[in-house]
Amino acid sequence: MSRASLDEARTHTFAEAIAEAHILVTTGAGGVGKTTTAAAIGLAAARAGRRTLVLTIDPARRLAQSMGLEGLGDEPALVELGDDLPEGGELWAMMLDMQTTFDRLIDRHAGSAEEARSIKANRIYRTLSSTLSGTQEYMAMERLHELHEAGEWDLLVIDTPPTRSALDFLDAPNRMTSFLEGRLLKLLLKPGMVAGRGIGKVVGAGATAFMRVAGRVTGMDLLQDLATFFRDFEGMYDGFKQRAQEVLELLRDPGSRFVVVTSPEPPPLREAKFFLERLEQEGLHAAGVVVNRIRPEVPQDPSEAALQRAVDELERADDPEGPASAAVLRLLNDVRNLAGRQRRDVTAALYSTNVDTLVEVPLLGGDIHDLDGLGVIATTLMTGRNG
């Protein structure tokens, strides 16, 4: 994308995406204001008359606090916004409960209620469901699909973990399918294995000895738990694979769009560019980029040379207040240079990317911790102007 195209992107806002999209996924590096942006999008949508739900994967309390809620759980909680919303406008929020979501997934795909109970009671399952790499992101996708199927919401806003994990969010369906198609799992699902025989041939004598020792130490019969888990899991593969494909199709739908959030520093800008390129490769839709906490532009009049002459004159003048006044002018020049450098960094980082919308949210006086602060950002996202 050229400099001229980026300048045009700066004239666009997220008003169209907030008014028309069914799913908006916010993603970005840690500490760039991604959770706050997700909440502000939700507030803007509610103000636009849409019934909106914000789902956070981040267990931190920032989203709940900014919305005036004591806490968030697996069920949606209504955010009180007063009576001045247009008809249909509502804001709800919730936090992903990974274990509960995984349990529901087992209930859906198990061959029987008894089989589902057996899997959920299995200690191997309880461990895998909370520690397997990518499980959190896959369960976020599953919860998103559940909420989509419920058909109760005009807009679903998904707040993801930092970018590296957000890439896991994109990879989660394929990762789960790859696990289910893996050679080890297929071996373990053979008739002899699911009956508990021959595990040693798969994992090796040393590993089997280790598991037996571990079983004695911990009081768990690991081999029996493994055999039971894989026996009960047999037959669920097709359901998981189909669900993974449905999730990918949902994310590729034009109604699903990604909002890439960054700050004006080079490291998060590089991650933002990487994620935009990945979205394009995957055939996914980017709604645009939000640059948070950017310094407000300072008028270029007087010029830098004129400012320097004024500083020199103040420092030479026989005036006790001269040094203080000169320091203020130097600070003004430093702030102006910083604001300009930040915008140049944004332009340089995103120069070759395909960005239709670029909204720069100015650095505010403090952290966002209530609905009033969210309202300022919501207005900026909708209008491009500082609320």
In the predicted model, what is the mean pLDDT of residues 130-147? 79
Looking only at the bridges linking them, the beta strands covering 286-294 and 77-78 are unpaired
Question: Which pLDDT score is estimated for 74?
Answer: 87
Question: Which pLDDT score is estimated for 337?
Answer: 73
Rank 193-197, 305-309, 354-358 by mean pLDDT and report only the highest: 354-358
Contact 346, 360 (CB under 8 A): yes
Higher pLDDT, 323 or 27: 27
Higher pLDDT, 102 or 357: 357
Distant-in-sequence, close-in-space partners of 159: CB < 8 Å, separation ≥ 6: 26, 34, 35, 38, 39, 54, 55, 56, 57, 58, 63
Question: Which pLDDT score is estimated for 204?
Answer: 46
In the predicted model, what is the mean pLDDT of residues 277-292? 93
**pLDDT for residue 38 is more than 90:** yes
Question: Which pLDDT score is estimated for 1?
Answer: 57
CA dihedral angle for residue 7, residue 9, residue 12, residue 16, rounded to 10 degrees = 180
Question: Which pLDDT score is estimated for 323?
Answer: 73
Please give the Cα distance from 203 to 184 (Å, whole number). Answer: 9
Q: For all residues of the chain together, what is the average pLDDT?
A: 80
Strand extents, DSSP E, 151-198: 155-162
Global confidence as pTM: 0.80
302 preceded by a cis bond (ω within 30 of 0): yes
**pLDDT for residue 274 is more than 80:** yes
Q: Among 72-76, 242-246, 377-381, which is the least confidently predicted range?
A: 242-246
Residue with tokens 């079983």: 215
Nearest CA to 221 among 201, 199, 188, 204?
199
**pLDDT for residue 92 is more than 90:** yes
Confidence of residue 140 (pLDDT cuts 50, 70, 90): confident
pLDDT (tens digit per residue) in 312-355: 666 677 667 767 776 766 666 666 777 888 888 999 999 889 89
Token pair for 141: 């996708």
Q: What is the DSSP letter of 151?
A: T
Confidence of residue 203 (pLDDT cuts 50, 70, 90): very low
Per CATH, is 3-189+235-298+347-383 categorized as 3.40.50.300? yes
Residue with tokens 């209930």: 107
Please give the Cα distance from 35 to 41 (Å, whole number). Answer: 10
Q: Among 42-51, 286-295, 327-336, which is the least confidently predicted range?
A: 327-336
In the predicted model, what is the mean pLDDT of residues 210-221? 49
Confidence of residue 202 (pLDDT cuts 50, 70, 90): very low
Nearest CA to 191 among 243, 234, 148, 154?
234
Question: Which pLDDT score is estimated for 217?
Answer: 45
pLDDT (tens digit per residue) in 104-122: 988 988 888 988 998 898 8
Residue with tokens 């509610």: 46
Distant-in-sequence, close-in-space partners of 151: CB < 8 Å, separation ≥ 6: none
Higher pLDDT, 328 or 281: 281
pLDDT (tens digit per residue) in 360-370: 999 886 777 78
Question: Which pLDDT score is estimated for 69?
Answer: 80
Question: Which pLDDT score is estimated for 26?
Answer: 94
Confidence of residue 99 (pLDDT cuts 50, 70, 90): confident
In the predicted model, what is the mean pLDDT of residues 51-62? 82
